[in-house]
Every structure is written in C-alpha cells, then in structure tokens.
Amino acid sequence: MRLKSMVLTLILVLATVVVASAQQIDSRVVEEKIYCPCGCGEILVNCHCETAVSTRTQIQNRLIAGVPPETIIKDFVTLYGSTILVNEDTERIKAASKSASFDMFPLYVLGIVAAAFVAYHFGKASSRSKGKDGWKLEKKGGKK
C-alpha cells in the first residue's frame, strides 16, 4: 500500500514538472515571435523591463488557462497591430550587422595620430625654411 502511494506521488510530481516545462516552452515560442509592447524594440524574450515581465506573466497565465499560442499571438496583433510581430528577416540582418561590425574607436585614434604626424612634419619643415633670421615680410609694390 505504501509503495503504491509513493509511485502515485512520483507520477503526479513528474506530470506536474512535464506540464510546467511544456508551458515554459510554449511561452518561449510566443515570446520569440513578438516585440516588447513598451516600444523599446527588443524581442520580448530578450527584454527585461517591467512591461516585458508583466507581459510574460500574462502569456504564461493564458497558456495555463489553455489558450493556444497562436491565439495569444493573434490577440497581441489585434491589440498592438502587426508591428508587434517579429520580422525574422529584419532580425537576421540586425544580428549579422552587429556581428560583422567592429568598434570604430581604433580608426578614430589612427586618424588623430596621422593628423598629428602630418602637422608635426609640416611645422618642422616650415621652421627649417625660416632660416636664422626668421620670417621677413617683404613690402610689395604700392604707393610710396
């Protein structure tokens, strides 16, 4: 009798864990397909603002109530418009540009060093051409 109750308890615990993890997976599917409603431009699954947290809770509660993920997504489109949907092509382009880009700071430093080098050598060359007497202004023609 005791063995049967332990097995029954174990089955109930495992069933609860499986259902909870399945709902978490469904929640993630919905969160990956919509942007955060606050307007920050982040995909909901990646956003950590207060709006994102409350929206995630709302999605999880609706999934627990038995609402399918497709219906939840359609409700968000009805509420916020089609701009709430993640455009996968746009997101791929954003990700590629982030990974392919590099920090411009080294180029700025290189430009400043090159400009300083050129300015230094122009200044040095002009000081050599002065001679020992320095610059002399010559009076060009005009009335005397």
Q: 3-state secondary structure string, 16-36?
A: HHHHHHHHHHHHHHHHCCEEC
User: Domain ends where: 86, 112, 137?
Assistant: 86
Can you give the pLDDT at residue 21?
47
pLDDT at 24: 52
Q: Which pLDDT does position 58 carry in this prediction?
A: 93
Q: How confident is the model at residue 22 (pLDDT cuts 50, 70, 90)?
A: very low
Q: What is the per-residue pLDDT for 135?
A: 57
Q: Clarify whether residues 11 and 77 are in a common domain.
A: yes
Are both 22 and 61 inside the same structural domain?
yes
pLDDT-based confidence at residue 55 (cuts at 50, 70, 90): very high
* Residues constituting the chain: 144
More confident residue, 123 or 20: 123
CB 66 within 8 A of CB 55: no
Q: 68 and 108, same structural domain?
A: no
Residues 108 and 37 in one domain: no
Instruction: Establish if 135 belongs to a structural domain.
Output: no
The count of domains in the chain is 2
Residue where a domain stops, chosen among 86, 119, 136: 86
Q: Give 38 or 142, the one with higher predicted confidence.
A: 38
Q: 64-100, pLDDT tens digit by residue? A: 898 999 999 899 989 988 888 888 767 776 776 665 5
pLDDT of residue 38 exceeding 70, the answer is: yes
pTM for this structure?
0.50
Q: Which of 67, 73, 60 is nearest to 33 (CA)?
A: 73
Domain encompassing residue 113: 98-128
Asked if 45 and 65 sit in the same domain, the reply is yes
Average pLDDT of span 27-44: 89
Q: Are residues 16 and 79 both part of a single domain?
A: yes
**Ramachandran angles phi, psi of 131, nearest 5°:** 85, -170
Q: What is the CATH classification number for the domain harbouring 71? A: 1.10.8
